[in-house]
Amino acid sequence: MFSLRPATEADFPAIRELIHVANINPTGLDWRRIVLAVTPEGMIIGCGQVKPHSDGSQELASIAVLPERRRQGVAKAIITLLLTTYPERLYLTCRSSLGQFYEKFGFRVVSEAEMPRYFRRINRLAYVLTALRFFKEGLLVMIRDP
């Protein structure tokens, strides 16, 4: 059992730790945009946000769930709430192995030509880091249109 709620400033250290445990990019974390999944005891077990970029695009980001709470609908609940709150066009970046998961929410892989500037830069950097074997798998850029 868990419920969803907006994050507070006091939650930020736990959010950072969750992002670290999930081994995802901590850039752009802002507690004011984050939705949390919390147990009845108050333990933070998941989070997510929609973050804006300077090129005007918005990104579904920071989706993280504690390893022991995965496959229990936590990420699905967070994503569903965020997509309802932000029904406009959203992008996301994810490991290649997660592409099918996000397709269930209406996301599709986009070509580099379709990407806003921010995502083109990320995509090119990920390509280089994957080629140099800093990343174990490729990165996808996906879009969900309203």
CA angle (73 as vertex; 16, 32 as ends), nearest 5: 35
| Residue ranges covered by each domain of the chain | 3-144
Q: Work out the mean pLDDT of the chain and round it to a whole number.
A: 90
* Of 133 and 90, the one with more pLDDT: 90
**Residue owning tokens 């806003």:** 116
What's the pLDDT score for residue 23? Answer: 85
* Of 124 and 72, the one with more pLDDT: 72
Q: Which CATH number fits domain 3-144: 3.50.50.60, 2.40.33.20, 3.40.630.30, 3.40.50.1860?
A: 3.40.630.30
Q: What is the DSSP-derived secondary structure letter of residue 135? A: S
pLDDT digits (tens, 9 = 90+) for 68-118: 999 999 999 999 999 999 999 999 999 889 999 999 999 999 988 888 888
Residue 140 φ/ψ, nearest 5 degrees: -110, 145
What's the pLDDT score for residue 134? Answer: 56
Q: Is the pLDDT at 135 greater than 80, yes or no?
A: no
What's the pLDDT score for residue 43? Answer: 96
Least confident of 22-31, 66-75, 124-133: 124-133
What DSSP string runs through 89-124? -EEEEEEGGGHHHHHTTT-EE--GGGS-HHHHHHHH
pTM for this predicted structure: 0.88
Least confident of 36-50, 53-67, 114-128: 114-128
Helix (H, G, I), strand (E, B) or coil at 74: helix
* Of 69 and 131, the one with more pLDDT: 69
